Amino acid sequence: MKNIVIGSDHGGFDMKQKVMDAMKEIQWSDVGCYDSSSVDYPDYANLVVQNILEQKFKFGILICGSGQGMAIRANKFKDIRAALCWNAEIAKLSRAHNDANILCLPGRFISAQDAIECIKVFLNTDFEGGRHSQRVAKLSKM
């Protein structure tokens, strides 16, 4: 069973609930939000990032309305590679070529089934390394 940290804002709350309910094979650590009341997405991105940086989890998932705000915030941190994905092919490439460690999903723009497929592909795709390793190393440099 995989252990994954997940967070959302109000715009991603419904999608978060749907994927967690549908994917019982994953042990979820839900850092919020816990209802659809308006919240600030950076707060929840910070919680997921903190769990990744403290090595409590290898991967995280962030969901907001567009996915963009979560991705922007998460990518402010060194060694975080948050990828905004809206289909399985993008999710696969984000892992294989970019060694992404956080999947960001647009809760208002994709179906629950597409989100679930993105998560499955993201979690089951290995980083290819090779020529991509040098490029990924440059992402953490200023």
Q: In 10 A of CB 134, how many CB atoms?
A: 9
Which one is catalytic: 2, 18, 97, 132? 97
Rg (CA), the chain: 14
Q: What is the pLDDT of residues 4-23, one digit of tens each?
A: 999 999 999 999 999 999 99
- Triad 54, 55, 61: Cα angle to 5°: 100
Q: What is the pLDDT of residues 23-47, one digit of tens each?
A: 999 999 999 999 999 999 999 999 9
Average pLDDT score, the chain: 96
pLDDT at 142 over 80: no
pLDDT value at position 141? 80
Residue partners of 86: CB distance under 8 A and separation at least 6: 67, 105, 106, 109, 110, 114, 118
97 included as an active-site residue? yes
The Cα 102–Cα 23 span in angstroms is: 17
Average pLDDT over residues 97-110: 98
Question: Which residue shows structure tokens 């994905």?
Answer: 85
Q: What values do phi and psi take at 114, rounded to 5?
A: -65, -40
Q: How many domains does the chain have?
A: 1
Q: What is the pTM of this model?
A: 0.97
Range of the domain at 65: 2-139
In one letter, which amino acid is 24? K
Q: What is the pLDDT of residues 118-141, one digit of tens each?
A: 999 999 999 999 999 999 998 888
CATH of the domain at 56: 3.40.1400.10
* CB 82, CB 94: distance < 8 Å: no
